[in-house]
Chain A
Amino acid sequence: MREGIVGPGACRGLALAALLALSGLPGCARSGEVVAVRDSASPAPGGRFVYPLPIEPISLDFVTGTDLASSSVTRLIGDGLVDHDAAWNPVPRLAERWEWEDGGRALVFHLRQGVRFHDGIPLTSADVLFTYERAVDPKTRAVGRVESFLPVERVDAPDDRTVRVVYRRPFAPALQGWEMPILPRHLYAGKDPEGLNLQRAPVGSGPFKFVSWESGRRILLAANTDYWGGRPYLDLFDFEIIPSQDTALQALLAGEVDFARLTPVQWQAHAGDASFERRFTGLRYTPFFMYDIAWRGDGSNPFFTDPRVRLAMTLALDREGYVRSVLRGLGEVRSSPFRPAALGREGDLPVIPYDPARAAELLDQAGWRIDRASGLRRKNGSPFRFTMLIYGVSEDHLQFSQVAQEGLRRLGITMDITRLDWPTLLTRLRSGRFEAALTGIAPSPDPDSMYTPLHSSQIDGGQNYAAFRDSQVDAWLDEGRGTLDPARRREIYRRIDALLQTRQPYTFLFSPVVQGAVARRVGNVNAGAYGILDPYPGPAAFFILPGADR
């Protein structure tokens, strides 16, 4: 999945990378690497937690609001059938259990008893069915949802508490799509959804109830005292819209918000400061996001059709140096788009090292030799000079591309940089009119998310920007998608990963690590891959220490 798991569920949306870049919220992911903030005091109800949102949510409609900001809010108001913990293992939510039937073609959910929407009406399988139907209805335009429901043949509700999803063929990543919060059918029945205003004032069954949305200012939620999972400790959850990251940090220092993301420079300025550490706890997380360079390998340029050239590019880029010096260590160098767990490996996966000498060797082998007169590499008379597209607003894009430019120059390669705005970059990527492009990729925890960047069916109009075409990889990706046996699945993706290491259709660069700080007055704060709102139950478990309310 490219640039787009946006909160829970298999949401695709190219907005995330833009969002990450805009908010300065870096992205990506190794689960398990989370820091918990726990306090010994016993939780008591009460208090207000203020969370700064860098961007205003688009819509609080559970089905269409799949951008990061919207889903941060909706996952507190609504309940999905399943959810995930901090290590991104599936956990029960509305469904107390589920099982596969029919050789993996059917997924059966058993809903818990006694769940009610915020208006008091019980939640049943009919609501689940309705939510699904609304998500796949083309009129709804739920672009972030449809992808994960494409393989669904039909959804049945044999009784009030059972939902049976039948897939056309076994679909291993199926669970993710069912993190979608469930809508109250009775509010929609026979009405025009546009007129209901449920995208601005939603009703769900989750731990918090919607109170108000003041445009450009705040979205306020209050505790659902009748929550089936128990009343959340907080009285109020207050999302304040604070576009500037500098302001968000100042607001944290002034006590106006309880959490902030810090840039590497901000973190360096405050880490170790005694008064800062007395009031705030630092926590780090790595969202499922990494920067990558797509080398357009369809023969439209004379450079990147040859895998040796692409590997040479990877070897020529000093990614470790960049993470160390520019990111102040707040980044993880990547050579694989997969999580170690998905490949059945423990610890870090090996990384292709910075090795300019080996890069030069490979370029020589590929026929790109140094021209004595100019010091530049040439092949059949033409120079090795190409253009890399970048997203011109992102600091990471700007800084990394300059480092790359310098590294390549030393190898006799001229790289020009073209800064574009996001929509234009996207248009160029989709049309294939580029030689190289620095973009981002947001592979969800399921390795199937690499289907779109790697499968040859995704070259035209899809997200296989490198135009990578390999029939063996296609076959493995198809097999991986339909294989439920975990061991067999890991084996398939190990093979794909091994092949990627030499073929390098993309150079995976690094995952920025988010450095956050949370007020010590709050207890039970956990960070998942997407931060403190991400793992379930998340904010439903937050509490304010006695005597520490604002």
Chain B
Amino acid sequence: MIIFLVRRLVSLAPTLLGITLVAFSILNLLPEDPGATWRGAAPSAETVQRLRTELGADRPTLARYGLWLGALLRGDLGRSLRDGRQVTSILAEALPWSLLLNLGAICLIYGFAIPFGLYSALVPGSRADRIGAVLLLVLYALPSFAAALLLQETFAVRLGLLPLQGVSRGPDGATPVDLLRHLVLPTVCLALSGWAFVARYARASFRSAMGQEFLRVARSKGLSRWRAARHLTASAAVPLVTLVTVILPGLVGGSVIVEQAFSWPGLGRLYLAALEGRDYPVVLALTLLSAVAVLLGQLVTDLFYMVVDPRLRQRLLAGSSGA
């Protein structure tokens, strides 16, 4: 198991290296060099030259890549071109907020989608199943920015039940309750499209699991409906877990819009601002971070497989030792 983990981690390295190379090259293909954009103002030729030297922009691309990679290995992501602060501290400020939002959304998606999928799989074709399907389709089709406005208008402006935006009501220190209240609307907004997707998927995998011989046999031998459902869940869990790796990049992408709409101080907003301002060190760091997140997500999924499915465990372990 440990060997498997180590091997998988080692095998991530070349993938990551490839991603950094691609990201670096794409940024360098953009039609001007970062020296010209420093702080968005109109700097003198001398300032531009100094900055170019500082950034290494006057060296060949490969040499710059080498420099950047070297610094990265020392844990140095450079300084933001916008405000001159360390990129690591900028990321460290925004990362917890993004994690909170995305983990909240995943919990909300699964917390709703699995019971719903199970229910509609147990009573296929019922009125609840059909109405639910239509409702979910509508939610799925609703663009994030429209959903955000709708939620804000309804729950914050008209009903005044929840805060509209931001992460705390006032400057007097945020209480956990206050934070939770601020978390509700953006999390729901981010979860909306995932709901439909995962719920339909869950329904399908429960349905196919229900068709399996062992369940029919167990039920005919008098296994209760609820105990059957438990076995069913374990059996349907494998494909559902895979979904996390599918929806996670989507959530990260979707949270750019949600963070913008709800003034949420996370990575999505940072990414947007950095791209617009050509803040190269921040863009590179965020690209790298999301690549790492996706790769780690896959790894965690594989580990989870090993926990829930003994057959997969055997195959993965055999595969890793045979490699």
Q: Which residues of A are at the interface with B, using a C-beta cutoff of 8 A? A: 4, 12-15, 18-19, 22, 48, 55-56, 58-59, 64, 66-67, 138, 141, 143-144, 146, 194, 199, 211-212, 214-218, 220, 236, 238, 240-244, 246-247, 250-251, 253-254, 256, 393, 421-424, 426-427, 430, 461, 463
Contact status B165-A48, CB under 8 Å: no
Contact status A246-B167, CB under 8 Å: no
> Bound state CA distance, A251 and B31, in angstroms?
39
A residues within 8 A CB of B157?
Answer: 250, 253-254
Smallest Cβ-Cβ distance to B42: which chain A residue: A14
> In angstroms, how far is the closest chain B Cβ from the Cβ of A57?
9
> In angstroms, how far is the closest chain B Cβ from the Cβ of A442?
12
- Tell yes or no: B52 within 8 A of A by CB: no
> In angstroms, how far is the closest chain A Cβ from the Cβ of B238?
38
Smallest Cβ-Cβ distance to A2: which chain B residue: B42
Tell me whether A141 and B94 are in contact in the complex, defined as CB-CB below 8 angstroms, given that A247-B164, A422-B276, A423-B278 are known contacts.
no
- Tell yes or no: B250 within 8 A of A by CB: no
Cβ-Cβ contact count across A and B, 8 Å cutoff: 137
> Bound state CA distance, A367 and B30, in angstroms?
40
Contact status A427-B36, CB under 8 Å: yes
A residues within 8 A CB of B260?
Answer: 243-244
Contact status B41-A220, CB under 8 Å: no
Smallest Cβ-Cβ distance to B46: which chain A residue: A138
Contact status B263-A243, CB under 8 Å: yes
Tell me whether A13 and B265 are in contact in the complex, defined as CB-CB below 8 angstroms, given that A256-B164, A256-B165 are known contacts.
no
Smallest Cβ-Cβ distance to B33: which chain A residue: A427
> Bound state CA distance, A422 and B46, in angstroms?
22
- Tell yes or no: B160 within 8 A of A by CB: yes
> Bound state CA distance, A461 and B260, in angstroms?
36
Contact status B152-A143, CB under 8 Å: no
> In angstroms, how far is the closest chain B Cβ from the Cβ of A213?
11
Determine which of B153, B156, B276, B278 lies in contact with A22 in the assembled complex, contact meaning CB atoms within 8 Å: B276
Tell me whether A250 and B276 are in contact in the complex, defined as CB-CB below 8 angstroms, given that A216-B270, A217-B265 are known contacts.
no
> Bound state CA distance, A13 and B160, in angstroms?
41
> Bound state CA distance, A478 and B145, in angstroms?
51
CB neighbors of A among B116-174 (8 A): 145, 148-149, 152-153, 156-157, 160, 163-168, 170-171
Central interface residue in B83, B97, B156, by most chain A CB within 10 Å: B83
Tell me whether A240 and B170 are in contact in the complex, defined as CB-CB below 8 angstroms, given that A12-B42, A199-B83, A461-B45 are known contacts.
no
> In angstroms, how far is the closest chain A Cβ from the Cβ of B89?
9
B residues within 8 A CB of A18?
Answer: 40, 276
B residues within 8 A CB of A141?
Answer: 38-39, 43, 47
Central interface residue in B37, B84, B90, B164, by most chain A CB within 10 Å: B164
Told that A13-B39, A22-B276, A246-B261 touch, could you supply 12 new A-B pairs with CB distance under 8 A? A13-B41, A14-B40, A48-B170, A58-B39, A58-B40, A143-B38, A199-B84, A216-B94, A238-B170, A244-B260, A251-B164, A256-B164
A residues within 8 A CB of B203?
Answer: none
Q: What mask results when residues 263 to 283 of chain B are scored 1 for a CB within 8 Å of chain A, else 0?
A: 101100110010010100000
Contact status A144-B41, CB under 8 Å: yes
A residues within 8 A CB of B168?
Answer: 217
Central interface residue in A13, A64, A214, A216, by most chain B CB within 10 Å: A216
Central interface residue in A15, A194, A423, by most chain B CB within 10 Å: A423
Contact status B265-A215, CB under 8 Å: yes
Question: What are 8 A-B residue pairs whose CB atoms fall within 8 Å in the complex?
Answer: A4-B41, A13-B41, A143-B41, A215-B93, A216-B94, A246-B145, A247-B262, A250-B164
Central interface residue in A48, A141, A426, by most chain B CB within 10 Å: A141
- Tell yes or no: B313 within 8 A of A by CB: no
B residues within 8 A CB of A12?
Answer: 41-42
> Bound state CA distance, A424 and B82, in angstroms?
17
> Bound state CA distance, A426 and B163, in angstroms?
40
- Tell yes or no: B44 within 8 A of A by CB: yes
- Tell yes or no: B32 within 8 A of A by CB: yes
> Bound state CA distance, A4 and B43, in angstroms?
12
B residues within 8 A CB of A424?
Answer: 30-32
The 7 A-B residue pairs with the shortest CB-CB distance, nearest first, are A216-B265, A15-B40, A13-B41, A427-B32, A143-B41, A423-B37, A254-B164
> Bound state CA distance, A22 and B276, in angstroms?
10
Contact status B269-A58, CB under 8 Å: no
Smallest Cβ-Cβ distance to B40: which chain A residue: A15
CB neighbors of A among B43-83 (8 A): 43-47, 82-83
Tell me whether A13 and B40 are in contact in the complex, defined as CB-CB below 8 angstroms, given that A199-B83, A244-B261, A247-B152 are known contacts.
yes
A residues within 8 A CB of B82?
Answer: 58
> Bound state CA distance, A295 and B104, in angstroms?
53
> Bound state CA distance, A10 and B42, in angstroms?
13
Smallest Cβ-Cβ distance to A3: which chain B residue: B42
A residues within 8 A CB of B263?
Answer: 217, 240-244, 247
Smallest Cβ-Cβ distance to B265: which chain A residue: A216
B residues within 8 A CB of A144?
Answer: 41
Tell me whether A238 and B276 are in contact in the complex, defined as CB-CB below 8 angstroms, given that A244-B261, A247-B165, A427-B32 are known contacts.
no
